[in-house]
Amino acid sequence: MKLYRIIALLWRYIYLMKRELGKLSEVFYWPVMDVLIWGFVSIYLDKTNQQLNFFASLFLSGMILWNIFNNTSKSISVSLLDDIWSRNLSNLFASPLNPMEFLTATMFLSLFKIFATLLTTSFIALLFYSFNLFTLGISLWANFINLVIFGWSIGIITSALILRYGTKVEDFAWSMPWLFTPFAAVWYPVSILPGILRMIALILPVSYVFEGMRGVILIKTFLWDKFFWALGLNFIYGILAIWFFHKMFKSVKEKGLLTRNG
Amino acid sequence: MNEIVVEVKNLTKKFGDFIAVDNISFKIKKGEIIGLLGPNGAGKTTTIRMLLNLISPTSGKIIIFDSDLSLHREKILQRINFSSSYTSMDWRLSVMENLIVFAKLYNIPFPKEKIEQLLRRFEIWDLRNQRIASLSSGEATRLNLCKALINDPEILFLDEPTVSLDPYIADKTRRILKEIKKERNLTILYTSHNMPEIEIMCNYLIFLHRGQIIANGNPIEVTKKILTEEKEKPDLEEVFIRIAENKI
């Protein structure tokens, strides 16, 4: 793996963002809209129903953290789509660039975007709702790490599917993170879910992240067991995602789809 | 001069039941310009894509610079490049931005100087700040050639490089390619449907038909082999038509 090839791809994304400011909407516009709308809804519910203590904190931190997972995953697969749309994949992979360098560049890019989203949405939450996400302390960063790793895994799996099946499955880039939302228990505890759905939730790292987040807000305790469960599952998903991408990449080269799809 | 830089051994590519390339073998010597010819669907582009490791062969071996391409992909691809009329660069970025990205991918020192030199040589320096989307097909073709030369490749694969150029620019492009070949003893594998161009450019030809090599040699050798009547000069246009009409 060569760092200069990863940096070359990052330059490309920087040029692209400079040329297409609309691309920044996924970093700033949509997450800010989410926080604004659902922040005011949760404040309203807090005021009208005194039994719902911490509703705003739970809802806002859930919204901000969910955006981290959603945007990380999207960022990975949309980066690949950018190359498919511009029919640039043949040029890239006829160079010494290898698939792992390509993925690493998209992962770095997603980190830049996520930090920008996190800082912006946290600032909005502080400004309008006096909610300081950073008071979550170490738990925020522990959850952040787990969400980013799972976002990468799902983004890599989605990219592998797009690489294999082409633009006919391009909507997966946006819809795939939502597939996990009902089971992630972002805004409700896992115990609410009925039998089979709860089983699914328990094999997803994100459900442990959001359970852990509620632990910090409601009982002021960082639940280390939830953190390590999420980290362990992430390790498995990460390995599976990279294996799946390599398998699809090999299949794409055998079927001659790299040049046909991009 | 006789150093073999590319060796293809029993190369086959099947897509399901369809055999795109059928057990072909050939060698390319350093400094040669080889024409890879044949009608549409003959297997030329598939062969070039296998030589670039964009498509995996079903069987056979590709040896470039004495190394197996499937085992030493990165090391080999650093020393070769390609230009194809079937690929494009990111249409949202400018000419300069695209070339900077490729220069960085190949770890070229002083990329801007190298890019300026290439753009001036192909007479598209004035377009450096234009987006790819706004280029004519002829300008985009010349840009593809600049990209192909950015890493000073030792082997260049050109898939119909002059297909969308007007005769004046096509002639100029051929002259530039010949100059570069002479300056650096560059090896070129060239595909084209323009037979007069092949006669000008190539000193050795490989004719493919339905994935198989049906003739190889210099232009007059190939002409004599395919055409039954006696010929004193190469007549690749006629050779091509006979092959395409299945009259051989």
Quickly state the pLDDT bin for B128 (edges 50, 70, 90).
very high
Q: What is the H or E stretch that residue A215 is in?
A: helix A205-219
Q: Is A194 on the interface with B (CB under 8 A)?
A: no
- Contact check, Cβ <8 Å, A250/B56: yes
Residue A159 to residues A37, A89, A105, A237, B19: CA-CA distances in angstroms? 31, 13, 13, 15, 29
Quickly state the pLDDT bin for A51 (edges 50, 70, 90).
low
Provide the 10 A C-beta neighbour count for residue A168: 9
CA distance B209 to B241: 12
Q: Are A89 and A171 in contact (CB under 8 A)?
A: no
**Could you say which residues from 1 to 40 on chain A have a Cβ atom under 8 Å away from some Cβ of chain B?**
2, 4-5, 7-9, 11-12, 15-16, 19-20
Provide the 10 A C-beta neighbour count for residue A116: 15
B150: nearest CA partner in chain A: A95
The residue length of chain A stands at 262
Q: Which chain A residues are closer than 8 Å to B107 by Cβ?
A: 2, 4-5
Mean of the per-residue pLDDT values for chain A? 91
Q: Are A38 and A63 in contact (CB under 8 A)?
A: yes
Q: Is B19 on the interface with A (CB under 8 A)?
A: no
- Per domain, the residue ranges of chain A are 3-261
CA B102 to chain centre: 18
Provide the 10 A C-beta neighbour count for residue B218: 12
CA distance A66 to A80: 22
pTM across the whole model: 0.91
Quickly state the pLDDT bin for A210 (edges 50, 70, 90).
very high
Most confident of the ranges B150-154, B161-165, B201-205: B150-154
A83: nearest CA partner in chain B: B90
B215-248 pLDDT, tens digit per residue, is 999 998 888 888 877 777 888 888 888 888 876 6
Mean of the per-residue pLDDT values for chain B? 92
Interface test with A, best of B51, B53, B54 (most A CBs within 10 A): B54
- Contact check, Cβ <8 Å, A82/B90: yes
